[in-house]
Structure 1
């Protein structure tokens, strides 16, 4: 059985992508509070790329997989 590998391009983009609206406007998706991601999970993620990024970040947090992006964040990410 083959173990699925993360899509590195999506992970790289996650460490650069900023929230375009709302209370956390201009925050990196990777820095959003878990409670905010949980709210989207309950209420519904937006359509399109933003929804995919938010749901991916939610799954990373939910499954304690931050190690997947920590190194990339140092290389490619910026601060809030």
Structure 2
């Protein structure tokens, strides 16, 4: 896991489905659990969703807090 992947969790939006347009770090845990049971998509999106699942499962959301705050700094 690298910091650019964590940065993508707070910037990338879900491209399709029920939560289309939702930033990945704000996806509800039950949605990620559903993906875990059905299988994550291939590629980068699947890797990011799996990472977000693991973060939420292990109570590590606090790791994303500084990255979330950095997204909203005034220019």
Fold match by TM threshold 0.5: yes
2:20 aligned with 1:25, yes or no? Answer: yes
* 1:53 maps to 2:48: yes
Deviations 1:8-64 (A, max 9, x none): 111111100100000100000000000000000000000001100100000000011
Runs of 5+ unmatched residues, structure 1:
1-5
Q: Does structure 2 conserve the Cα–Cα contact (< 8 Å) formed by 1:16 and 1:28? A: yes
Q: CA–CA distance in 2 between the matches of 1:22 and 1:13?
A: 19
Equivalent of 2:31 in 25, 36, 50: 36
Once residues 74 and 9 of structure 1 are traced to their aligned partners in structure 2, the CA distance between those partners, rounded to angstroms, is: 15
Counterpart of 1:3 in structure 2 is none
Query: What TM-score, normalized by structure 1, do the two folds share?
Result: 0.85
RMSD after superposition: 1.1
Question: Aligned residues, how many?
Answer: 72
Unaligned runs of 5+ in 2: none
